[in-house]
């Protein structure tokens, strides 16, 4: 694996870990509040994209 791919994998792993922590923080809130919160939905989509990119590296 090239140095660039290794670096990118590490950065994506850290970002994904942070996104999952934020999602878990949202999950402690009321379900309806989460659904209405646009930030939560964007965060889930962003985490999904990062995970997909990490798998495809």
Q: What is the pLDDT of residues 4-15, one digit of tens each?
A: 888 888 888 888
Query: Mean pLDDT throughout 24-47?
Result: 72
Specify the higher pLDDT residue, 18 or 26. Answer: 18
Domain count within the chain: 1
Radius of gyration of the chain (CA): 14
- Distance CA(38)–CA(6), nearest Å, equals 32
Domain of residue 21: give its range. 3-55
Whole-model pTM above 0.75?
A: no
Average pLDDT, the chain: 79
Tokens of 10: 């590490």
> pLDDT value at position 35?
64
Q: Is the separation of the CB atoms in 9 and 56 below 8 Å? A: no
- Distance CA(16)–CA(13), nearest Å, equals 5
């Amino acid at each position: 694996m090239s140095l660039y791919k290794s670096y990118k994998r590490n950065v994506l792993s850290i970002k994904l870990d942070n996104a999952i922590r934020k999602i878990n923080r949202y999950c402690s809130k009321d379900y309806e509040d989460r659904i209405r919160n646009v930030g939560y939905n964007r965060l889930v989509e962003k985490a999904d994209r990062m995970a997909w990119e990490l798998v495809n590296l």
